[in-house]
Structure 1
Amino acid sequence: MERELIKLTVDNGIAHVCLNRPSKINALNVEMFTSIDNVIKQLRGDKRINAVIISGAEGNFCSGLDVKSVASSPTSALKLLFKWLPGNANLAQRVSLGWQRLPVPVIAVLEGCCYGGGIQIALGADIRIATPSCKLSIMEAKWGLVPDMAGLVALRQIMPKDKALMLTYTADILTAEQALELGLVTQISDNAYECATALAQKISRTSPDANAAIKRSINQSWTASVRSLLARESLSQIRLLLGKNRVIAAIRQTKNPDKAYRSRQSWW
């Protein structure tokens, strides 16, 4: 990656992604948006990945958009916002929505500042584990902007509309405890990264095909019609029953708990 704005390491099927611009509290410039987008594309194509952990360097997750950097170049905003069709995701939206579209569980470790664009990225994760000292804010209104990085896709599923409006209107800074009460974070831990790693390892002991199916089914069916939900569940189950990892899962439960799973099937 350019200037290592994003550090990526893979250990036993778990991808560790670190936002790495600590001198700017990991604030997002155009190069960082591009690097995150490229990492998501790389992980999507690697069927050996079973889980992803996202974190920020040196005690902070992300302080949001580097407004000065983006505003200094007329082409920067265009790179972030350009899309061929209104319903497509642009670069700014892909760094949040892209995590939801990965066919593996994604866990965000939130420390220090998690503001604006930072919380939009975190909302793209399936699970958010925060340290007690973490501060969170949907901060775009402070700068006269609307949140436009697709975090609303998850936000509308985890809290009532009136509370989402209140947080977005006011740009209030929340403590980790307040965020937990509102559903913005899943869990608080003094050792958030260790907790996330243990969870990723636990997830990796189950079928990668089943995890991909579960994520797709829940994400796509959460606000869908009952008929769509039933159809999606049935199709996913048929695919799983025809796959080798379902057989391996049964063997791990009854005969050999250490039998290795196959790489994730391409249809996920």
Structure 2
Amino acid sequence: MTPATPSDEIRHRFENGVSWITLNRPDAMNALTWDQRERIIALLADASADPATRAVVLTATGKGFCAGADLRSGGGAPATTDRVAGDVARMIRLGAQRLVTAVLDCEKPVIAAVNGTAAGIGAHLALACDLVIAAEPARFIEVFVRRGLVPDGAGAYLLPRLLGPQKAKELMFFGDAVPAAEAARLGLVNKVVPADELEAAAREWAERLAQGPTRALALTKQLVNASLDGDRATALAAEATAQELNMTTADANEGVASFVERRTPKYLGR
């Protein structure tokens, strides 16, 4: 049997302005290897650079969205033997943190379509996305404490911003599974749908975003992501700069013209 390649294990297709990235190791609950992470990072960079790409959907096959790093294939921490100081920190920076940062910094809106269990870095991969749609069987698990580990992949950065520090600590201290409906109630998930409707729901939102003013969306994403990290003066200065930049785009001119002319705008993503 020919071994699976990263391209097989990370499927990619492009439809109607949307880049679909699909984790495809269902037998391993889509636990991520190093090569798979590099493939996802590259596809997100391509999405940012390609004017034809207007939105991204990140999803998976099988019963799991992503069970975390594949510790059996070198996707997690290095072996305990021959480890020197700095090895683990370097591995985290170059691996889990680069992956989550690639989602946060992608210049196109990214939707997570979570089909099943999202655990560890798999949960953080989903929660780093701009919008999260979960199938009813999905659940989110801060699994690190069960392994005696500290959360990585920006978990201690993301969760307090989504939940507040007290609830974030509860999830990280106990490692209990959070079902999709509870995740929606907490604000981790935008929408919960039946499993057989997940792809259609993600497509509806993604193609709607793909018809939007892409550069304005990119600038809005940057402003929101930075809003909790700075003071008011910094946020307002960034807002003014974003407005200045956006008003140079064709889509901004189209939006204003369509309003004046009382017609539906036709955005081109430029």
What is the TM-score with the length of structure 2 in the denominator?
0.87
Matching of residue 130 in structure 1 with residue 134 in structure 2: yes
Q: Is the 8 A contact 2:254 2:265 kept in 1?
A: no
- Of residues 210, 216, 233, the one that matches 2:216 is 210
- Of residues 60, 69, 81, the one that matches 1:65 is 69
* Per-residue deviation, 1:128: 0.8
User: Which residue of structure 2 lines up, in the alignment, with residue 150 of structure 1?
Assistant: 154
Amino acid at match of 2:37: F
User: Which residue of structure 2 lines up, in the alignment, with residue 261 of structure 1?
Assistant: 268
SS in 2 for 1:158: helix
What is the alpha-carbon distance in structure 2 between the residues aligned to residue 81 and residue 22 of structure 1? 29
Structure 1 vs Structure 2 CA RMSD: 2.5
* Per-residue deviation, 1:154: 2.5
Q: Is the 8 A contact 1:81 1:91 kept in 2?
A: no
User: Which residue of structure 1 lines up, in the alignment, with residue 110 of structure 2?
Assistant: 106
Q: Provide Cα deviations, 1:205-264, integer angstroms capped at 9, x if missing partner.
A: 22111101111111112332110111011111111122222112234443664745153x
SS in 2 for 1:7: strand
More displaced 10-residue stretch of structure 1: 153-162 or 11-20? 153-162
Q: Provide Cα deviations, 1:78-133, integer angstroms capped at 9, x if missing partner.
A: 988527xxxx9422212112111011111101112111121011111011111111
More displaced 10-residue stretch of structure 1: 129-138 or 145-154? 145-154
Taking the TM superposition and a 5 Å limit, the aligned residue runs for 1:16-165 are 16-70=20-74, 74=79, 81-82=89-90, 89-165=93-169
Query: Identical aligned pairs, as a percentage?
Result: 25
Matching of residue 222 in structure 1 with residue 222 in structure 2: no
Q: 1:65 to 1:59 in 2, by over 3 A?
A: same
What is the alpha-carbon distance in structure 1 between the residues aligned to residue 9 and residue 265 of structure 2? 37
Matching of residue 186 in structure 1 with residue 190 in structure 2: yes
* Per-residue deviation, 1:166: 0.9
What is the alpha-carbon distance in structure 2 between the residues aligned to residue 208 and residue 98 of structure 1? 18
Q: Is the 8 A contact 1:97 1:151 kept in 2?
A: no
SS in 2 for 1:17: strand
Q: Is the 8 A contact 1:80 1:90 kept in 2?
A: no
Note the residue ranges of structure 1 that are not aligned, 5 or more in a row: 264-268
Number of residue pairs matched? 258
Matching of residue 172 in structure 1 with residue 204 in structure 2: no
User: Which residue of structure 2 lines up, in the alignment, with residue 266 of structure 1?
Assistant: none
Q: 1:97 to 1:20 in 2, by over 3 A?
A: same
SS in 1 for 2:65: coil
What is the alpha-carbon distance in structure 1 between the residues aligned to residue 113 and residue 88 of structure 2? 25
* Per-residue deviation, 1:147: 1.2
Q: 1:24 to 1:162 in 2, by over 3 A?
A: same
Q: 1:80 to 1:248 in 2, by over 3 A?
A: farther
* Per-residue deviation, 1:60: 2.2
Structure 1 residue runs of 4 or more that deviate by more than 6 Å after TM superposition = 77-80
Amino acid at match of 1:208: T
- Of residues 248, 262, 266, the one that matches 1:242 is 248
What is the alpha-carbon distance in structure 2 between the residues aligned to residue 101 and residue 36 of structure 1? 13
Q: 1:220 to 1:261 in 2, by over 3 A?
A: same
What is the alpha-carbon distance in structure 2 between the residues aligned to residue 233 and residue 8 of structure 1? 34
User: Which residue of structure 2 lines up, in the alignment, with residue 200 of structure 1?
Assistant: 206
Note the residue ranges of structure 2 that are not aligned, 5 or more in a row: none
Q: 1:81 to 1:22 in 2, by over 3 A?
A: farther
* Per-residue deviation, 1:134: 0.9
